[in-house]
């Protein structure tokens, strides 16, 4: 699996410094949680890794390649957002297969792959439903399946659980972790919820004001005085 390396990444919006010479290393196959209060730069960091935000300074590499030199269609990344990111006029199966359609894969492969992924997220019998016919938790499962359908090198999750109620949140959190371990995909999971970060990640990176405050495993963070 690809590693992700941010070196001295700075991104400003007018007088706001969203990222301030951020250094961050995500090892290949690792599940890294990025934790910090609202406004500390978590979403900006994730969008920069995805190539949606071009840094003012610094470099970002994925599997050793500078993301800004890779055209968007060739960026092997899957992304899940907070909520409401499915295409409302496509069925669950067609949402999952969307990235494959963009890559011009044939109908048989799209069907097979959508069925596999829906099975993986526990929605094998919901492929023909439209998003509005699914619960919030089910919609996020479809979003996860869609992100994974193209077998991305890197999975980027931006507060994917925060719109869900507590019980569904824990359930889906555990499921995301199970799937990540099964596939071994390098994963960056943004959250402002400390318990969530500690329960799910191999390591937790704590951001403050656009900088890395600390990075440690959950055990190391727990055992600190
Ligand atoms: P987080 O995800 O940790 O809440 P963000 O990365 O969304 O933080 O934002 C970091 C800082 O950058 C905040 O002060 C935010 O208001 C600012 N910011 C983010 N995106 C923009 C933008 N497109 N235009 C102006 N300011 C922005
Ligand atoms: P988060 O839940 O991570 O804090 P926000 O709701 O603050 O996210 O931001 C959602 C989107 O709006 C992001 O894409 C972010 O870059 C953008 N954004 C955040 N702050 C600002 C801002 N002050 N001005 C313009 N866009 C912003």
* Top mutation candidate among 34, 36, 44, 54 for ligand 1, by most atoms within 8 Å of CB: 44
The Å distance, Cα 53 to ligand 2 centre, comes to 13
Atom 11 of ligand 1: nearest residue by CA position: 18
Cα 182–chain centre separation: 16
Q: Are 205 and 32 in contact (CB under 8 A)?
A: yes
Q: Which of 74, 75, 215 is nearest to 156 (CA)?
A: 75
223 has a pLDDT exceeding 80: no
- How far is 50 from 89, CA to CA, in rounded Å? 25
Per-residue model confidence as pLDDT tens digits over 26-45: 999 999 999 999 999 999 99
Q: What is the mean pLDDT of the chain?
A: 94
Half-sphere exposure of 90 (CA within 13 A, CB side): 17
**Whose atoms come closest to the Cα of 159: which ligand?**
2
Model ipTM value: 0.71
Q: Which of 154, 138, 150 is nearest to 96 (CA)?
A: 150
Q: Once rounded to an integer, what is the mean pLDDT over residues 66-89?
A: 88
The atom of ligand 1 lying closest to the CA of 46 is: 6
The Å distance, Cα 39 to ligand 1 centre, comes to 6
Q: Once rounded to an integer, what is the mean pLDDT over residues 107-121?
A: 95
Residues near 97 by Cβ (< 8 Å), separated by ≥ 6? 110, 111, 113, 114, 149
- 191 pocket-lining for ligand 2 (C-beta < 6 Å): no
Instruction: Please report the pLDDT score of residue 222 as a whole number.
Output: 79
Per-residue model confidence as pLDDT tens digits over 154-193: 999 999 999 889 999 999 999 999 999 999 999 999 999 9
- 15 pocket-lining for ligand 2 (C-beta < 6 Å): no
- 3-class secondary-structure state, position 15: coil
Q: Which residues line ligand 1 (CB under 6 A)?
A: 13, 16, 18, 36, 38-44
Tokens of 12: 């400003």
Instruction: Please report the pLDDT score of residue 224 as a whole number.
Output: 66
């Amino acid at each position: 699996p690809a590693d992700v390396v941010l070196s001295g990444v700075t991104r400003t919006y007018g007088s706001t410094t969203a990222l301030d010479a951020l250094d961050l290393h995500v090892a290949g196959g690792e599940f890294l949680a990025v934790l910090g209060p609202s406004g500390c730069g978590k979403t900006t960091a994730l969008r920069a890794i995805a190539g949606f935000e071009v840094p003012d300074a610094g470099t970002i590499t994925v599997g050793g390649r500078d993301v800004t030199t890779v055209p968007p269609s060739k960026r092997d990344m899957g992304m899940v957002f907070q909520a409401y990111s499915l295409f409302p006029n496509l069925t669950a199966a067609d949402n999952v297969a969307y990235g494959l359609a963009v890559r011009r894969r044939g109908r048989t492969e799209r069907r097979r792959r959508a069925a596999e992924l829906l099975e993986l997220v526990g929605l094998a019998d919901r492929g023909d439903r439209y998003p509005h016919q699914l619960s919030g938790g089910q919609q996020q499962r479809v979003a996860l399946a869609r992100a994974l359908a193209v077998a991305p090198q890197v999975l980027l999750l931006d507060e994917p659980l925060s719109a869900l109620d507590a019980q569904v949140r824990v359930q889906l959190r555990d499921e995301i972790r199970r799937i990540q371990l099964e596939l071994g995909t390098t994963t960056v999971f943004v959250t402002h919820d400390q318990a969530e970060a500690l329960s799910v990640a191999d390591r937790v990176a704590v951001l403050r004001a656009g900088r890395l405050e600390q990075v440690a495993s959950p055990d190391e963070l727990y055992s600190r005085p």
